[in-house]
Structure 1
Amino acid sequence: MHQMDVETAFLNGELEEEIYMVQPPYFVHPDYPEYVCRLLRSLYGLKQSPRQWNARFHSFMQSIHFQRLHTDVSVYIRHFGSHFVILALYVDDIVLLATSLPAMNQIKRALTATFRMSDGGELSYILGMQVLRHRPTHTMHLTQAKFAEGIVKKFNTSVHKHYWTPLPLIRQQTYSLHNEDTTLWVHDPLSKEYRSILGSIRYLVTCTRPDLAFALYARSTT
């Protein structure tokens, strides 16, 4: 299991529409300062950029004989005789799984020949999840301890008590956020701070901590 990153991914998208922009500051043509630029590739900030990057990458994967899964359009698979490679793409983050190192390296060479890539080596940390492998027992563990610690640090919730999970249903409608110099009591579930905390914890639930789902749902609906 290896990981790679596409550098400036959105710049690889090929535009279908005619889009023009003013000349960037300090890059104005001295003879034609009133001219505008016609874009041939997508740029960061264009609403078309994510879609065009995805279309460009999909076209490339088809050209090297990968098939996209119908159940998850971000996952591709290709067989090499008795071996196979699985590629998962999340915007510009790539996870590669292969049954042999030569097959893995072949795909890496194809990727780096087409896009500007950075090779992260063996998969260790992806999308807030840390990957821990224990080869003697052929096991793998996913943990989001660092992500959870980041939530605690961001919202300064270290003063709160610890509880075992799964949590019991507690009817509570008042939530507190502790800052360095003040304590803000949030009574409105739609407040920005409340939604931010809830969204952060929901990501834990989605990835590695389904045991938090009941407590989170119960608290968010009281």
Structure 2
Amino acid sequence: MCATFDLHLEQLDVKYAFLHGELEEEIYILQLEGFAETGKENLVCRLNKSLYGLKQAPMCWYKRFDSFIMSIGYNKLSSDHCAYYKRFEDNDFIILLLYVDDMLVAGPNKDRVQELKAQLAREFEIKDLGPANKILGKQIHRDRNNRKIWLSQKNYLKKILRCFNMQDCKSISTPLPVNFKLSSSMYPSNEAERKEMSRVPYASVVGSLMFAMICTRPDIAQAVGAVSRYMENPGGEHWIAVKRILRYIRGTSDVALCYGGSEFTVRGYVDSDFVGDLDKRKSTTGYVFTLAGAAVSWVSKLQTIVALSTTEVEYMAAT
């Protein structure tokens, strides 16, 4: 929306967010070391407000923020309780997105955005980060003249490659070879292979790739989904497949999702394979939905039941 309608996009951070929460339960803590009252060392203190480390601290903070933002006239989406909006006259509006203590504020009117920031600053201790350029590890690059916004994880991906000593590997053009399938028959077959694979950071690499896949890289969704099925007992072939994905990342770390253009229409694409999983005989559903020129939602996952034909697989995927 920011790219298509040229909205202002500002970023805020709440300092010590969890300390703003109001407790609903009675909770007691030991007196702090060095602050125990003489003669009353056997007594405990009752907490009046939330603290970091409490299990309910995130919910206490959310309830505190939610009550405040609703009190100044904002509504929240029924489909996402961390997305708030407020409509004004003349088709003016503000959208606020909350992720724990990080906020994005978008709207066509700069003055109204500044007014909301001032209201938040009066209620909480806020750090104004100005125009958004990085959120949750994703870089935001903007060209307002051409109404385009790029989302990428270039720095994160390069950090992954360095972390697993793949920064100098030879890059390749695809995440997995054509018609290449993994299976449990590739599990380690003897103790020597198991010992060798125990030294491999298989789960760490797959987990790191999964974060990138979820945020900005739909192009590796199918490959990451395939290698993640063998986390409990990976074999040599599985590890080679994971390293191949890293080699693909090496050559495509600069790839970004580019939002822009005047067409603000949701488009969906869906496809499937037939018996892609050799162990459970299940097929894979893949879909991607685009808005303003780039993907906003995507998935690649095994279907829940075994299909008997390619036609049935396609119907299940479309459904």
- TM band (smaller chain): 0.7 to 0.9
Aligned residue runs from structure 1 range 52-67, under 5 A:
52-67=60-75
Q: Report the CA distance shift for 1:196/1:166 in structure 2 as closer, same or farther (over 3 A).
A: closer
One-letter amino acid matched to 1:208: T
* Residue 216 (structure 1) shift: 1.4
State whether structure 2 residue 88 is matched by structure 1 residue 80.
yes
Corresponding residue of 1:179: none
Shift of 1:203: 1.4
Aligned partners of 2:206 and 2:227 also within 8 Å: no
Q: Is the 8 A contact 1:165 1:212 kept in 2?
A: no
- Give 5+ residue unaligned stretches, structure 1: 175-183
C-alpha distance in 1, partners of 2:219/2:79?
25
Contact persistence 1:168–1:215 (CA under 8 A): no
Partner residue of 2:117? Answer: 108
- How far does residue 72 in structure 1 lie from its aligned partner after superposition? 1.1
**CA RMSD after TM alignment:** 2.2
C-alpha distance after superposition, 1:193-219 (max 9, x if no partner): 322221211111111110001111223
1:152 to 150, 156, 161: 161
With over 3 angstroms needed to count, the CA separation of the structure-2 counterparts of 1:185 and 1:216, relative to structure 1, is farther
122 and 110 in structure 1: CA distance in 2 versus 1, 3 angstrom threshold: same
* Structure 1 residue 135 corresponds to structure 2 residue 120: no
1:162 and 2:171 matched: yes
What is the rounded CA distance, in whole Å, between the counterparts of 1:119 and 1:185 in structure 2? 50
| 2:59 counterpart residue number | 51
* Runs of 4+, deviation exceeding 6 Å: none
In the aligned structure 1, how far is the partner of 2:26 from the partner of 2:228?
A: 46
CA–CA distance in structure 1, aligned partners of residues 22 and 206 of structure 2: 37
Asked whether 1:186 is paired with 2:197, we answer yes
Q: Deviations over 1:41-85 (max 9, x none)?
A: 111111011111111111111111111101111110011223111
Distance 2:27 2:229 in 1: 46
**Matches of 2:145 and 2:196, distance apart in 1:** 50
2:256 is the alignment partner of 1:215: no
Alpha-carbon distance change, 152 to 185 in structure 1, aligned in 2, over 3 angstroms: farther
Taking structure 2 as the reference length, the TM-score comes to 0.62
Find the counterpart in structure 1 of residue 13 from structure 2: 5
- The sequence identity of aligned pairs, in percent, is 39
Q: For residues 155-210 of structure 1, what are the alpha-carbon distances to aligned partners after superposition, in whole Å with 9 as ceiling and x for unaligned? A: 22224331213533544658xxxxxxxxx94369xx8x322221211111111110
> How far did 1:27 drift?
2.0
Instruction: Give the structure-1-normalised TM-score.
Output: 0.87
2:107 corresponds to which residue? 98
Contact 1:7 1:117 in 2 (8 A): yes
